């Protein structure tokens, strides 16, 4: 990072990468979205609420949510084995738990809502970008939601707290903290951290990430408005 706080990709410390979201990009899915978040290129498709297979997973009292985060073999520098890695399984779980609070699944007992996320190209912060796309894809299905979910990471690079850590910064950086919030309730539904932070830095980093989530929310909102109002589909 340069003296005046300009980062390796030319951003300021409090600046997000470019984000664009397109809603309703898949014909067969009940809801879908495509996000470009910096160099991340991610597709999200949602099916449901629908019958649960295998049947024993069904819950009499509520609908359930399943989530699969998967990286394409060509999404990273070295080819990735297409079988789900332990990292992908863990991310699938935290994404599910980040989306769940926003959904009202009680109204759909014995059903499942499946969220499939495919990372076509990864560039640091892919779990946050994946979550941003998944939330919009869920909204696109029309399933009742309390709120959207918006995610963004903050981190510590060259002793400074920065917003939206990219791949190089993640490799060289001192800490990475992905965070997701429900923007209207302010509740934090995803949070992870690796790296070393003091108590003060922890608070700053959390607030910085939440600030990023709020900016992402505006992009998500605009993408949904574009799909349902301006283009005149519905």
Torsion of CA 118, 124, 129, 130, to 10 degrees: 30
Nearer to other proteins, 5 or 84 (CB): 84
CB-CB neighbours of 51 under 10 Å: 10
Q: Which of 72, 192, 204, 215 binds other proteins (CB under 8 A)?
A: 192
For residue 128, the minimal CB distance to other proteins (Å) is: 13
Q: Which of 16, 182, 223, 224 binds other proteins (CB under 8 A)?
A: 182
Nearer to other proteins, 4 or 78 (CB): 78
Nearer to other proteins, 23 or 99 (CB): 99
For residue 24, the minimal CB distance to other proteins (Å) is: 27
Piece in contact with other proteins (CB under 8 A), picked from 5-13, 28-36, 180-188, 220-228? 180-188
Piece in contact with other proteins (CB under 8 A), picked from 48-56, 88-96, 119-127, 213-221? 88-96
Is residue 196 a contact residue for other proteins (CB under 8 A)? yes
Chain centroid to Cα 9, Å, comes to: 22
Would you call the peptide bond into 54 cis, given omega within 30 degrees of 0 as the criterion?
yes
Q: Which of 3, 4, 61, 159 binds other proteins (CB under 8 A)?
A: 61
Nearer to other proteins, 42 or 197 (CB): 197
Asked whether the beta carbons of 111 and 63 are under 8 A apart, the reply is: yes
Q: How many angstroms separate the CA atoms of 164 and 151, rounded? A: 10
Asked whether the beta carbons of 154 and 212 are under 8 A apart, the reply is: yes
Q: Which residues, 6+ apart, have CB-to-CB distance to 205 below 8 Å?
A: 154, 155, 156, 161, 175, 177, 197
For residue 145, the minimal CB distance to other proteins (Å) is: 14
Parallel, antiparallel, or unpaired for β 31-37 and 64-71?
Answer: unpaired
Q: How many angstroms separate the CA atoms of 127 and 130, rounded? A: 5
Q: How many angstroms separate the CA atoms of 119 and 42, rounded? A: 5
Piece in contact with other proteins (CB under 8 A), picked from 4-12, 24-32, 121-129, 199-207? 199-207
Is residue 190 a contact residue for other proteins (CB under 8 A)? yes
Per CB under 8 A, residues contacting other proteins are 60-61, 86-87, 89-90, 92-94, 97, 100-101, 177, 181-182, 186-199, 202-203, 206-207, 210
């Amino acid at each position: 990072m340069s003296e005046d706080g300009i980062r390796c990709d030319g951003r300021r410390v409090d600046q997000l990468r470019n984000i664009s979201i397109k809603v309703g990009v898949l014909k067969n899915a009940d809801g879908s979205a495509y996000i470009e978040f910096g160099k991340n290129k991610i597709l999200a498709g949602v099916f449901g609420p629908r019958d649960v297979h295998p049947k024993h997973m069904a819950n009499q009292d509520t609908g359930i949510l399943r989530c699969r985060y998967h990286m394409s073999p060509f999404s990273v520098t070295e080819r990735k084995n297409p079988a789900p890695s332990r990292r992908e399984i863990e991310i699938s779980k935290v994404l599910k738990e980040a989306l769940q609070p926003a959904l009202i699944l009680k109204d759909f007992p014995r059903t499942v809502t499946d969220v499939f996320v495919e990372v076509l190209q990864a560039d640091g912060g892919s779990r946050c970008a994946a979550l941003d796309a998944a939330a919009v894809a869920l909204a696109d299905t029309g399933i009742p939601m309390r709120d959207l979910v918006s995610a963004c990471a903050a981190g510590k690079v060259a002793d400074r707290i920065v917003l939206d850590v990219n791949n190089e910064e993640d490799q060289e950086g001192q800490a990475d903290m992905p965070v997701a919030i429900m923007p209207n309730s302010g509740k934090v539904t995803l949070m992870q951290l690796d790296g070393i932070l003091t108590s003060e830095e922890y608070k700053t980093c959390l607030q910085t990430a939440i600030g990023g989530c709020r900016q992402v929310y505006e992009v998500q909102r605009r993408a949904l408005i574009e799909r349902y109002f301006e283009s005149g589909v519905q």
